[in-house]
Structure 1
Amino acid sequence: MAESIHDVQHRISSTKATRQITAAMHMVSTAKLNKIQKHTAGYQEYVSKIKSVVMRLSQSQLFDNSSNKLQADRPVKKTAYLVITSDRGMVGSYNSSVLREANEFIDKQTPNPDDYMILAVGGTGADFYKNRGINVAYEYRGVSDVPEFNEVREIVKTVTTMFDNEIFDELYVCYNHFVNRITSSFRGEKTLPVDRETLAGEAVSETPTSNLANDYETEPSAQEVLDSILPQYAESLVYGAILDAKTAEHASSSNAMQSATDNADDLISDLQLHYNRARQAAITTEITEITGGQEALKN
């Protein structure tokens, strides 16, 4: 019985140590979540404005007469899917949810594996597709907890160059959208080419298209305006998706660590009850043995 009590004590100590780790990780994840939410709030204003400008331009003849490479309208021979996951574990069901939903989305959009490629942001997604023999044409690991815009420039430059070189003909971005601290939802958004079909899914509510004019005066020229604004638009979509995905990742990590901490508390409580019962049983046995010894001496 003494050995059993010792084992229970060891399990209680181990669980308490684990609880300290999960509680600390919960605090860290919550701090990261708060930080990225503040960072994202300021960026949303920029995104809203640039989307509004592009939406207005899409209603004009400038858009139709443009020769910008990001608007290239060609037959779709190869589709690329930019799948955003995390680089690490201990984020609850975040990665499994993204990959499951992304696979369903890809199967629906492009059933033949030979007709698509994966562009992976995050080590979990890259490893997942590589292990299954799926073509991972590009991968980016080590995205910061609160990614800065300059980090995304490398990703966007690579993606747009691949599109310009006709390595793929259209691009979808797949990620988990942050709804609130408890909930996230999958999104699969078409990003390239930048055409009216793509922009229809990115419509800005505060931009009433019915009131838009069809003609604009441009300086220095219509083509130069679009050559400047469309890359910024593509950057904003990819950067916004990565920020959104990172926010959902931190929320999932915070929830997972909170659940682990709560489970540890429950387990410690159960083990403590088991320990007290075992200790009481050991004491009762000792008293019985002493009493029995005393009675034996009397006889």
Structure 2
Amino acid sequence: MPTTPFDFSFADIPDQRGRTIVITGATSGLGFVAARELAKAGAHIIIGARNRDKAAHVAAALAGRGSVEIRPLDTASLDSIAAFAHDVLSEGPRIGALINNAGVSVARFDKGVDGTELTWATNVVGPAALAERLLPAMTGTDPRIVLVGSNLSQRTTAVPDLSGIDDASAFAQLGTYRSSKTAAAAVAVDLTDRLEATGSPIRSVIAHPGVAATAMNQQATTPMSRVTARAVDALLARTPDDAARSIVWAAVAPDVPQRTFIGPRLRRGDHRLHTVPVRGAAADPEFRAQVRNFVAQRTGLTVP
């Protein structure tokens, strides 16, 4: 486990031939960069995509760059997740990594098709359900589940109120997003605990991209928030290629640590990756248990 800042570039990716990697949210931004670079390194990439037009564009953009297939997946829909997992599992692949990259920060209160507030449905419930369903296939080389987290969850001491998730009056775009990413980090650490308890070789790790100049970072809606977002982008935002390095490293490094956040500092000029312990509510076993129960209730899946 690296304990000091370290350099990593896509040229450092080890040979991925014979390894299957599933990536969500890879039709643009960080997920697209990760898919491109991992495919170039020899991995077989399965992309779960909701938008057919974007999926077709990605398929064309990655043609000739490696082995890539795209399958329909809406991470805010439990039925879609179940169908995607069934199709993947029926073909019997030995999955080496699942990269839960898909995420949203919606501007207004809305619910997903299953009745959960859309931010939480996409950022918490969906990734947790997909990981649980694909666990039986995580038998490839050095298997791990990579959550693309947010450093916002590291920078708050607030404990998300799981009882108010579907309350429209409690919705605020930034606060809801931050709470959802805190809960997602709790899911990842809880999965680490559960896998270790069974002696599983599967690792559950968290990578964060820092501030990235992607569509995800450009979803501000009010005039003031748009001005703020532009100022943050100008001062801190990294290119998608720079920001995606932590995600790729988490998917391929042999010494990737658990219960940590892996990613860059805020300062854009520092291109090293850093590992720091998970902080805040996600580090609290009691909160992790609450989120585990919440996910079990919302998905209907048995989460040991």
**TM-score in terms of structure 1 length:** 0.29
Please say which structure displays the higher CA radius of gyration.
1
Structure with a larger share of its residues in helix: 1
**TM-score in terms of structure 2 length:** 0.29
Greater relative contact order structure (CA < 8 Å, 6+ sep): 1
